[in-house]
Amino acid sequence: MSLRHALLALLTARPMTGYDLAKQFDVSVAYVWHAPHSQIYPELRKLEASGLVSAESTPRGSQATKRTYSITEEGRAELRRWVEEVAPPLPERDAAHLKATYYEFGSFANARRQFEGHLAYHQRQQLKWQIHVAQLEKHDTDLLRRRLAIEPEHTHDAIVAYKVHVYRGLVERARVEVEWAREGLALVDRLEAAETARRSAGD
Amino acid sequence: MSLRHALLALLTARPMTGYDLAKQFDVSVAYVWHAPHSQIYPELRKLEASGLVSAESTPRGSQATKRTYSITEEGRAELRRWVEEVAPPLPERDAAHLKATYYEFGSFANARRQFEGHLAYHQRQQLKWQIHVAQLEKHDTDLLRRRLAIEPEHTHDAIVAYKVHVYRGLVERARVEVEWAREGLALVDRLEAAETARRSAGD
DNA sequence: ACAGCCATGTAAGTCGTTACATGATTGC
DNA sequence: GCAATCATGTAACGACTTACATGGCTGT
């Protein structure tokens, strides 16, 4: 049930349309919780039905309407309740590590290809997060600036610090994945060398 | 689609019942891919229907039957295909980090409680994985021994090495999470001290 | 007799993915 | 006029969760 709370949290910065929210899910929140627009629009309707957000409709052209959502006082209360709640950790589901457990079913070339993919992906992630940390530290994101503009100044440090801490954590996590992939490549080299030695000895 | 492949991989060690497989999902595979028995039994039926596993039924009592599944040659081929396939990384979904982004909506006491929970959980995980690494290195798990018993000796190094590498990676990952939680606790201390100073200055 | 483990399932519901589908506005 | 972006949805399907439900075997 994290989607609804991610939406509520985003709406504390400013009222937004489903489209705006979907974009935010691509550039910031999505780094920790992904959601496509096909999930966002129905969820906003549900949030509206339960009174956690309110919607203002404005006409666009002759047939279409634009719906701008704002968080309600009940929505804020729900957000506080969620933050205070201790959630049991989600069950592990890590396709990359599962597959790596069984690389022996493929070739050395394949293991290398897989580790290289892992390496490249997490290097990109690391960079993305590093940039995000730098932006947060300079208050250089639209959403953060809007959020700070409406909150009392003495709370700004905490608001920024928690976010910076999260994204620094993700930078570190990506660094560990990159290291793991590099060590994986070294492992494949060792295994292949041993295999080659065995073959020439056996001949 | 990882569940089916995890099941196939487990069956390369020895034929097993759904119950056996469910237990394995609790003690080893589940560390990387969790699945409850209510998902395993229907999936085995599907695998059987597509010819990737075969089942042998033996009667138990008057009404019940036990079904023991074995991997087929097609199943092994599918496993090789899966290992060789480069899969796009799953979209991020990290409830703990999402919530931490918004700890400012709760109290300092809450942030502390959350970080402490994170710390305790990943410490347990780290220990569990360390133990698993040690067991793998000593070939001290039933499944691994059975797997090695039926594979040619020159492949043993690779079979063990990939698994050890995976679980060492998970130990490292858990270590980073523990560190992140500790730094989170230090952050809360700093934020609270600043808040206290501000209040006494304001009085 | 009872507990604990062995063993296999179903059912209802939610969450998430992928694809389909449509229309409006802005700037070139 | 056209492309890009703004904007909002639905539908079908598959993955996963939680709860319910049943029966057998082994040892005390």
User: Per the CB < 8 Å rule, is B159 touching A99?
Assistant: no
| Residues 6 or more apart in contact with residue A5 via CB below 8 angstroms | A78, A79, A82, B98, B99
Tell me the nearest-neighbour CA distance from A70 into chain B, angstroms. 17
Looking at residue B63, what is its pLDDT? 84
Contacts of A79 in chain B (CB under 8 A): 102, 105
Residue type, A151: E
- Between residues A1 and A4, which one has the greater pLDDT? A4
Per-residue pLDDT reduced to its tens digit, B112-128: 999 999 999 999 999 99
Per-residue pLDDT reduced to its tens digit, A44-73: 999 999 999 999 999 888 888 999 999 999
User: Per the CB < 8 Å rule, is B79 touching A102?
Assistant: yes
Looking at residue B31, what is its pLDDT? 82
Looking at residue A60, what is its pLDDT? 87
Looking at residue A30, what is its pLDDT? 72
Looking at residue B62, what is its pLDDT? 83
Separation between the CA of B135 and the C1’ of C6 (whole angstroms): 26
Name the average pLDDT for chain B: 96
Contacts of A33 in chain B (CB under 8 A): 92-95, 98
Chain A, 60-119: which CBs lie within 7 Å of strand D? Answer: 60, 64-68, 90-91, 93
A19: which nucleotide lies closest, measuring CA to C1'?
Answer: D7
User: Per the CB < 8 Å rule, is B80 touching A106?
Assistant: yes
Given a contact cutoff of 8 angstroms between Cβ atoms, the answer to whether A44 and A63 are in contact is no
* Burial annotation B8-28 (CB, 10 A radius, 16+ → b, else e): bbbbbbbebbbebbbebbeeb
The mean per-residue pLDDT over the stretch A174-194 comes to 98
- Give the number of A-B residue pairs with CB atoms closer than 8 Å: 182
User: Per the CB < 8 Å rule, is B180 touching A159?
Assistant: no
In the CATH hierarchy, which fold is given to the domain comprising A2-84?
Answer: Arc Repressor Mutant, subunit A (1.10.10)
Given a contact cutoff of 8 angstroms between Cβ atoms, the answer to whether A125 and A174 are in contact is yes
The mean per-residue pLDDT over the stretch A151-175 comes to 97
Q: Is the pLDDT of residue B203 over 90?
A: no
Q: CA-to-CA distance for B104 and B99, rounded, in angstroms?
A: 10
Separation between the CA of B37 and the C1’ of D22 (whole angstroms): 15
Q: Is the pLDDT of residue B28 over 90?
A: no
Per-residue pLDDT reduced to its tens digit, B125-166: 999 999 999 999 999 999 999 999 999 999 999 999 999 999
Q: Nearest residue to C5 (CA, C1')?
A: B19
Looking at residue A161, what is its pLDDT? 98
Looking at residue A8, what is its pLDDT? 98
Domain extent listing, chain A: 2-84, 95-202
Q: Is the pLDDT of residue B202 over 80?
A: no
Determine what percent of chain A is predicted with pLDDT higher than 90.
92
Residue type, B201: A
Given a contact cutoff of 8 angstroms between Cβ atoms, the answer to whether A8 and A85 are in contact is no
Half-sphere exposure of B50 (CA within 13 A, CB side): 13
Per-residue pLDDT reduced to its tens digit, A78-123: 999 999 999 999 999 999 999 999 999 999 999 999 999 999 999 9
User: Per the CB < 8 Å rule, is B92 touching A176?
Assistant: no
Per-residue pLDDT reduced to its tens digit, B66-86: 999 999 999 999 999 999 999
* Chain D nucleotides near the protein (CB, 7 A): 6-11, 14-20, 23-25
The mean per-residue pLDDT over the stretch B12-17 comes to 97
